[in-house]
Structure 1
Amino acid sequence: MESCAVMRGSKNGLGKKIRDHRAPQLLDIDGDSCHHLHNSSKKLCCPFERWVESLLSDLHTDHKWSADMKDGLREICSIFGIHFSRPECYIPHRWLSVLDVSLEVLRMWDALVMFYYAFLSNEDKCTYKDIVSAILQKRKVQGTGRARIKELWKELGNRSKNFTNEGKMRKVRICKKVLFEDKKTLLELHFYSAVLPMLKHYVLLFQSKDPKVHKLHDESYQVVKYNLKAMQVSAIQHYSRKTKESPVNVQLCRNVKRSSQRYRALLRDKEELNKRPYHSEKPTAGKKMAKDAIVAAAVSARRKFQKKRVESLKKLVQESYKN
């Protein structure tokens, strides 16, 4: 069921009315899992502070309203032998669409670097000349192609004088992310292209016309397992920091760390019990029941941090062994 208020409203939602008037036994199985996955993936990428998303929006706006910009990028793509496609805009409420747009940007990355090199200052052009030369050499562009690219740079530089202030600021933002801080941009783009495909696979699977309810449990298990791995890595990174300043919930991380310490202590106690000579013999039913009761009591005492009770139970175990 969709997660909108019309379907899941607490007062006038469709689910509420069905339970009140038709089927009171109707179970609440939460909302649309695909929509939840879009929201959770968006939350996963929040620490990047929309670095990639703002770049995608600027590229889309830059080439949507200007035919000259689009034609210039198309010509550079043809020289490089890259299939041209106009930069698209992702859909915010279907956030996993950012994966498709990011893959297109990665595919056209060399052409974008070559295109926005035209809007740099003369000083910056000297600084980033080696990067442009490396791209031309990698793409095996010969003399005619290089001459045509230089002509395009001059044409775009002359047109930049007629840009609006908003257009000029947009070029500055794009040049910063494509040329000045390209390593950070490429790192985040590759992160998106590596992490989001599994989540996108889940959404596409359950948005198909064919019934897939028989795969819901297994696919949901894999997605949850995949997300828990990411949470474990983020928690380890948080513990390794020297300061406590972090967007992560500090109290939650402390509770997770304490629970893991308790679990390791419980495992140590179980190992010590298993090393006792009592386990080498074949236990009778009565002794086995007594041993299981003692172990269960020790586990509950460990969870409640009752150290005195644990010590008394250990003494009781030792006396039972002697007897």
Structure 2
Amino acid sequence: MGTAIMVGAGIGGVTAAVALQRCGWEVTVLERADALGEVGAGISVWPGAAAVLAEFGVKGVEQAAALSGPMGLRKPSGRWLVGAADLGVELPVMIHRAQLHELITDQFGPAVTVRTGYPVETVTQDETGVLVNGELRADLVVAADGLRSAIRAALYPQYAGPQYSGYTAYRGVSEAQVESGGETWGPAQRFGVARLVDGRTYWYATANQPAGQSGDLAEVIRRYGDWHDPIPTVLAATETALHNDIYDLPLPLVPFAAGRIALLGDAAHAMTPNMGRGACTAIEDAGALARHLSSAPDPVTALTRYDAERRPAATKLVKRSRQIGRVGQLDNPLAIGARDVLVWAGSSVARGAAALRRKG
């Protein structure tokens, strides 16, 4: 149907490459790094994103065996605020980011060409196509180049760009196998535990602090090592921790389409990780992009429709995730007490509603 250049080979970029390939496009993936792959720890795949991946033939994203122990929200002492079962929510599949990336790129066929070690410096367009670095031409370009997208900055130079959330994050994978999970909320700090599909345990933690400070596993143990089980066990079986300050993009988000150039994933809507929806939203972007390119008469029309669908949905998630983070990172004792009461009361209402549904 046409030719596309994918700038960036993270989860969103490679999913979009597979999606366009399946609807007849020839795709060139440009990656700044010297090799394809993902760094990181665990990633949540919610049902909507899992359905998109299944549609594109990605296999291996399977629901892990149910934990035999409880899940939900606790205090550092171990006292439960709310159980996941009380809320009746559907849980995501948890998988290592590198494993998910490999499962997606396994679907690359002859229509996908990959060029690594290739930074994108210029992108220009006219009525007939887009030119990258003055040498590569295609019918359209998809900018999946992340939080600090150079293409977004070039298209919208007045946009403020990433903003610091006020808290940092630690992540790791533990060899410990746990039977309970969920999040623990303390003053200005949180810790989460989830089992991956391969049986290992993914953990993450947040802490209020200025941007740019260093952090390692020893700092994580200092902060959270005396919290309730299984947190000390999980940390004891961890070899290293990743540390990243948390940023998102300010609202209103810029348009996801400018002529023949589309923004996708973090380049379009980087959000805090409080809902575990960032990569899933990028996967859903890819599904919508392919659908509109298949049905629209030309790429410009398709990208306009893609923006109309995806920007409102992403805006809601950016806003809601930011709000959850502010509530989760409270440090004032009175505010924390009020928050905990509201969480408990909300769970009581949810339990009552679930009971009524069961009786009905």
TM-score (norm 1): 0.29
Pick the structure with more helix per residue: 1
Structure richer in strand, relative to its length: 2
State which structure, 1 or 2, has the greater radius of gyration over its C-alpha atoms. 1
Higher relative contact order (CA 8 A, sep 6+): 2
